[in-house]
Chains A and B, each alone.
Chain A
Amino acid sequence: MLDDADRPLVSVRNLKMHFPIYGGLMRRRVGEVKAVDGISFEIFEGETLGLVGESGCGKSTVGRTILRLYEATAGDVIIDGKEIAHAEPEELRRMRPTMQMIFQDPQASLNPRMTVRDIVGEPLREHMALSNTELTDRVHQLMDQVGLNRDFADRYPHEFSGGQRQRIGIARALALNPKFIVCDEPIAALDVSIQAQVVNLLEELQDRLGLTYLFISHDLSMVRHIADRVAVMYLGQIAELAPRDALYEKPLHPYTEALLSAVPEPDPTIAAKTERIILTGDVPSPSNPPTGCNFSTRCPKVMDICTRETPTFREQEPGRFVACHLYNSEQTSAANAASEVNKSIQQGEET
């Protein structure tokens, strides 16, 4: 799908989202959680970019900051040719129809005191001048689209099952004909049997309406199913971004490799053969990330340079981006050689 997508619908440049930590008697700012620390990527029209990573790595924050549900600390976000990150509130409000979000928790993200008609109809009422009958028609049409019975329009969210609630959330997101939808773990709170239904619905809607998705998930197999390209996040930064098949076949970054090796393999004979890479240690605190590469504390292939210098996020192969010193050929080979020499000298001294 990469080839037929000509222009980026969303481009994110050096986005940072630092949450302040207040402490002490006077509630002074004592530090910050670097939830998202300088990430850049583009999403092309009609594609699905999967964003994966372990919990707490800043995936959801990326999604929310792109849609400016948080005020970004630094960086630019351009969606459909318009700058989002620094737009005035009223201007931003008028841009909202283009970009929508499907939230993780279908229970909490719907106002418990509003009926389905109100929930789905509110964006229409806010952004369009529709008569009551037009509004009802549109709400019914949206409910058909996501596979909800029209008769349920006057029910409250708590009267639905989890999967149905997520469908309400999707109908709500679709109400204003958006181009770009951030799906923030839309299936994480659902039953496995329902997950497939919802993901298929999302794919079907993408085909029919030409939507562009940022699909945030920690479920690697689901991302493999739905995404065209995949970005792997670790501790607020993107470690690797590559087309799906290439990434799953031959991961470049050691973290991606470890992550993929953790995906359960259904075939026991293959499962017995594959070696799982077990990472040791915990994820460092995002309020105090390690110097150099963020992954250097747990990386099985760590080198000297990793703890000193932050690797640049660069295009290694066409369409494949990675932030790792292993592939930073010019400097790394030299540094590698140097560390080899160091090692042998040390060993030599020991013996």
Chain B
Amino acid sequence: MFTFTIRRLTLAVPTLLFISLVIFLLLQLAPGDPMAQVPLTVPPEVKQKMREALGLGEPMHVQYLKWLRQFFWIEPLNLFDYMFGTGLAEGELRVISWQTRSPVVDIVVQRLPQTLWVVGMAYVVGILIALPIGIISAYKQYSMFDQVGTFVSMVGFSIPPFFSGVLVIVIFSVQLGWFPSIYDTTHVVNDWASFKVQLLQMFLPVMVLALQITAQISRFMRASMLDNLNQDYVRTARAKGARERVVVLVHVLRNSMIPVVTVIALGIPSIFGGAIITEQVFKVNGIGQLLITSIEANDLPMVQTLTFIFAILIVLFNLIADILYGVLDPRIRYD
């Protein structure tokens, strides 16, 4: 297992380098000019100088290598400096956002908590709802519960958050007035009352996202449970005289969790990616919102960095899912 992990991590390096090249080239080839927002009264020579100041005058491979150096060397050094108070990266140019002129990583670090709170909480809530639903609807296949569960999953799958988000805002904030429609990022939790406010403002976005996650994972759980419920070893367990609870929870559930855990692990990078639409609907100042505004403003370094961070997370969690699979299923060996 250890050698497998090391081998996979080593293999991840060329993969990530290739991804970084693809991202870089795609963004270079994409139309759009960072100077588009600059007023027309600014003469073209000045604009050209501004472009060169941003590093756009250099040949493409130089730009790429410079970005690589900044991302893989200078930014980690900065993080190291920040954590241990050293001065290793002093005087080096960091990846700077064209929009805000501040280091990209700093902005990401500012935005991440909001996203992790809202989207991460939605993921946890979604899983906690999905697993029991999946288990029960498989155990009582074609029952009323199963039919309702199937219907709700279908709704969750098919209604996009830009509709369900607006719908719950209309119902619960506008008509009923139970929850605020806007997520206030500046809200500070320091006592019981402010914690309650935080809960209230998180409720709607979390539920809108959780509906989708629940739909997906409960279907998966159900299919996996059904697959295992009909296996011969379940009949063996019953013939042994095991309690029904033991049969379902020990034999069937434990074996059904293998693919579900993998799916859950593979979904974690999407938490960091934020939920672009839902964040936009509820005005959550998170990563998804950051990405969409950067794309609109042609903020190449920001888009490039964010996309690449997502790529790293996806590669990493793929590896984690593979390792989990090996841990959970004794039939799979990685050596």
Contacts and interface: CB of A to CB of B under 8 A. Distances in A.
B241 A112 contact: no
A196 B163 CA distance: 67
Contacts of A69: 235, 238-239
Interface residues of A, number: 29
Contact of A112 (B142, B238, B242, B255): B255
B242 A109 contact: no
B232 A123 contact: no
A103 B244 contact: no
B23 to A, nearest CB: 40
Interface string A123-136: 10011000000000
21 contacts: A27-B142, A69-B238, A89-B244, A93-B241, A96-B240, A100-B239, A103-B232, A103-B235, A110-B233, A111-B236, A113-B254, A113-B255, A122-B237, A123-B240, A123-B242, A126-B240, A126-B241, A126-B243, A156-B330, A172-B236, A172-B240
B158 interface: no
Given A93-B241, A110-B233, 14 more contacts: A27-B142, A67-B239, A94-B241, A96-B240, A97-B241, A108-B231, A108-B233, A109-B233, A109-B236, A110-B236, A111-B255, A122-B240, A123-B240, A158-B330
B329 A113 contact: yes
A105 interface: yes
B238 to A, nearest CB: 6
A176 B232 CA distance: 20
B330 A112 contact: yes
A72 to B, nearest CB: 15
Nearest to B258: A113
A127 B329 CA distance: 27
B251 interface: yes
B331 interface: yes
A101 to B, nearest CB: 5
Nearest to B257: A113
A107 B233 CA distance: 9
Interface in A73-112: 89, 93-97, 100-101, 103, 105, 108-112
Interface of B: 142, 231-233, 235-244, 246, 251, 254-255, 328-331
A67 B235 CA distance: 11
A89 B254 CA distance: 23
Contacts of A89: 244
Contacts of A113: 254-255, 328-330
Contacts of A122: 237, 240, 242
Interface of A: 27, 64, 67, 69, 89, 93-97, 100-101, 103, 105, 108-113, 122-123, 126-127, 156, 158, 169, 172, 176
Contacts of B329: 112-113
Contacts of B233: 108-112
A73 B182 CA distance: 60
Nearest to B328: A113
A249 to B, nearest CB: 36
Residue in A100, A108, A111, A122 whose Cβ sees the most chain B Cβ within 10 Å: A111
A156 B331 contact: yes
B236 A93 contact: no
B239 A101 contact: yes
A189 B331 CA distance: 21
A141 to B, nearest CB: 18
B239 A126 contact: no
Contact of B239 (A96, A112, A158): A96
Contacts of B330: 112-113, 156, 158
A158 B331 contact: yes
B261 to A, nearest CB: 13
A103 B238 CA distance: 12
A128 to B, nearest CB: 11
A106 to B, nearest CB: 9
A113 B328 CA distance: 8
Contacts of B328: 113
Given A112-B331, A156-B331, A123 B231 contact: no
A298 to B, nearest CB: 32
Contacts of B237: 111, 122
Nearest to A93: B241
A83 to B, nearest CB: 17
A111 to B, nearest CB: 4
Contacts of A96: 239-241
A114 to B, nearest CB: 8
A146 B123 CA distance: 49
A313 to B, nearest CB: 28
Contacts of B331: 112, 156, 158
Contacts of B246: 126
Residue in A105, A113, A123 whose Cβ sees the most chain B Cβ within 10 Å: A113
Residue in B231, B241, B328 whose Cβ sees the most chain A Cβ within 10 Å: B241
B241 A123 contact: yes
B242 A126 contact: yes
A27 B328 CA distance: 37
Contacts of B251: 111
B254 A103 contact: no
Contacts of A176: 241
Contacts of A112: 233, 255, 329-331
